[in-house]
Structure 1
């Protein structure tokens, strides 16, 4: 690795909190599990009052909050275990300052939206019952607390082994907001069961990826292009082990705008499913390509 890249990874600029071409950084978590010999993914249908992607089937996620960034430096100290922030940053192609924020945002969002807490205790053990942290979940949703508060107050730590970079998409949301979204893969912890107890979710559950794709083709499920792309990739696998092995070889170069010429997504851009679930909501214009500038 060149010294220039090392300097970029070591750069810590509290004002540098934007993504590709100034887009807002966001993180999405794809929870997966094995169920009776097949792979399932946790998906949720957004309420129709949401500004971005109303009524669409998505994975838990959202924008990076300023408090997801480290307060003084990139070093998370006793809040981080597993692969170092530096190694995660290299894997993602961003500064370690941003890698810290994206991982914290991913873990915060999946806890807020599904009640799944992907952290370990001070002995390194997975949390098997997240209900005791319900008050923190509510505080995170209302921005009354930061994810680091939950960790500090309860002697919990992030384990970067539990959440792996999967893909990166850059584009404009249904409401015209520009996002640089990092998708992560995570295995649902034993003993924890996700829920749809969130003001952003109308319905949620576990589904085989292929079933959601079939639902989209039948006009029963609404998907944005990035969600379709992740489901199609997941549908190639029959187990969590296969997905995690695939994650180790993820191409983290950003997909910019609508990849209409990419053969992998041709079906999405050439298919107009019959609408079988009532009036369409205003999901906005398709993603528009941005002019390449910087990856972070």
Structure 2
């Protein structure tokens, strides 16, 4: 029988992980929320990344004494299993992990009240973030405690990347796109980031080309895709055709990523 620890393993034994590209429209065009990781982080130190992290055993748990639908809203888990190319248990865990990581790292809560009314200000739930980070609570428990429902339809599947076999720490990473919920503003209150903010995808890529920031290939590739669009609506339309076939290892021969592998940004750190 599989244990919860076994369930957190993805393709070829890589650890299941999630990342969330939170986007919004601005007067100057499309913006995405990013954070620069602190130098002490064991993975991707000093890199500019999207909020995210590993899937945890608590992301698999059912909702305690409540039935599943009490804290899970949106399309069925069967729909999500097909969309993500996995089974229902892992689909649920990926969705809860994505929402949990976004809430832990930004204070943004992809949920509504159980009756469907929106949450215009999520700061009242921010005291729960430390309990989530320290693994004392699961997101299901937080939602049930406050009579909230996860809005899974606010997460749009984007891409899936699997680390090379040569990497010491390997991840099977599912990327999602989420539109900034109205009234909620990310606060950057996380020990994992030295700085955070909203930027146009093109500006971030220009910073990488100038050697001002560091990017890893999955982040770079997703920024390149976002840079083609001027507004949230166009991004969401594009994601209707998202391909979740995993990109495995370093795709050095894939022409889509030629710039990343052929260009060496000037070192300014």
Short-chain TM bin: over 0.9
The Cα of 1:137 is off from its aligned counterpart by 0.8
Q: 1:50 aligns with which of 33, 41, 57?
A: 41
Q: 2:150 aligns with which of 158, 161, 164?
A: 158
1:166–1:250 contact (8 Å) kept in structure 2: yes
> Which residue number corresponds to residue 176 of structure 2?
184
The Cα of 1:200 is off from its aligned counterpart by 0.3
Measure, in 2, the Cα distance between the counterparts of 1:135 and 1:253: 37
- Deviation track 1:225-274 (CA, whole Å, cap 9, x = no partner) reads 00000000001111111111111110000000111111111000001100
2:110 counterpart of 1:118 = yes
Q: What is the number of residues matched between the two proteins?
A: 265
1:53–1:174 contact (8 Å) kept in structure 2: no
- Deviation track 1:69-88 (CA, whole Å, cap 9, x = no partner) reads 03389x72211111111101
2:70 counterpart of 1:82 = no
> Which residue number corresponds to residue 10 of structure 2?
19
2:19 counterpart of 1:32 = no
Moved over 6 A (4+): none
SS state of the match for residue 157, structure 2? strand
- Deviation track 1:51-92 (CA, whole Å, cap 9, x = no partner) reads 00000000000000100003389x722111111111011001
Measure, in 2, the Cα distance between the counterparts of 1:174 and 1:57: 22
SS state of the match for residue 113, structure 2? coil
> Which residue number corresponds to residue 220 of structure 2?
228
SS state of the match for residue 77, structure 1? helix
User: Structure 1 residues 13, 52: CA separation in 2 closer, same or farther (over 3 Å shift)?
Assistant: closer
Unaligned runs of 5+ in 2: none
1:118–1:126 contact (8 Å) kept in structure 2: no
Superposition CA RMSD, Å: 1.8
> Which residue number corresponds to residue 263 of structure 1?
255
SS state of the match for residue 112, structure 2? coil
Question: Could you state the TM-score of these two structures normalised by the residue count of structure 2?
Answer: 0.94
- 1:99-248 alignment runs, 5 A limit: 99-172=91-164, 176-248=168-240
The Cα of 1:210 is off from its aligned counterpart by 0.4
> Which residue number corresponds to residue 70 of structure 1?
61
1:27–1:184 contact (8 Å) kept in structure 2: yes
Unaligned runs of 5+ in 1: 1-11, 279-296
Of the structure 1 ranges 118-127 and 144-153, higher mean CA displacement relative to structure 2 is found in 118-127
